[in-house]
Amino acid sequence: MRKGKRACKWVRADVSSLTEISRFVQDWLSQREGYRESRKERYLVELAVIEACTNIIRYAYPPSSAGQIGICLKEEGRRIEILLLDQGIPFDPAGTRPPDLHESKEGGYGIFLVRKIMDSVTYRRRGGRWNCLRLVRECVRGGDGEQVGEGLEGLRRRIVSGEEEVR
């Protein structure tokens, strides 16, 4: 990992890599202005990356194949960009519908959470073999010292109550 404004890493597309991915993202964010002061912001961005990588691990590669995930982190001013690369089955998250938040079920919230946390989520298929998922967070939204995890529960309450519009 580089300590500069950019860092890239390749990992196996396997559940056992999620801890390594989490640590990589947390370490890099903790060096960014605005993020090092806010555990909540680091947690939310890390959650978005973990959710997206979990989907790649579960759905991009057949169970018997050993795939890879590329994670590239970049800072431009107060904006961060995360590029996730894989050579698995193409999947554009833009076509997914938001889950019914009044229905109690396990799973199916990953893409929804990624969209709610990040300011921009775009997908491109490149060269006929690369899935490129680009996640952008425009700026840190506070540093109010909220404890880790409170942001998600508050977001869930606002969405269920109708205060937060679903994108």
Residue 28 confidence (pLDDT): 96
The mean per-residue pLDDT over the stretch 98-121 comes to: 76
In this structure, are residues 26 and 46 in contact, taking their beta carbons and an 8 Å threshold? yes
Q: Phi first, then psi: what are they for 37, rounded to 5°?
A: -85, -15
Which run of H or E residues covers position 133?
strand 130-137
- Rg (the chain; Cα; Å): 16
Higher pLDDT, 128 or 149: 128
- The structure's pTM equals 0.78
- Domain architecture of the chain: domains with CATH: 6-161 (3.30.565.10)
How confident is the prediction for the chain on average, in pLDDT? Answer: 81
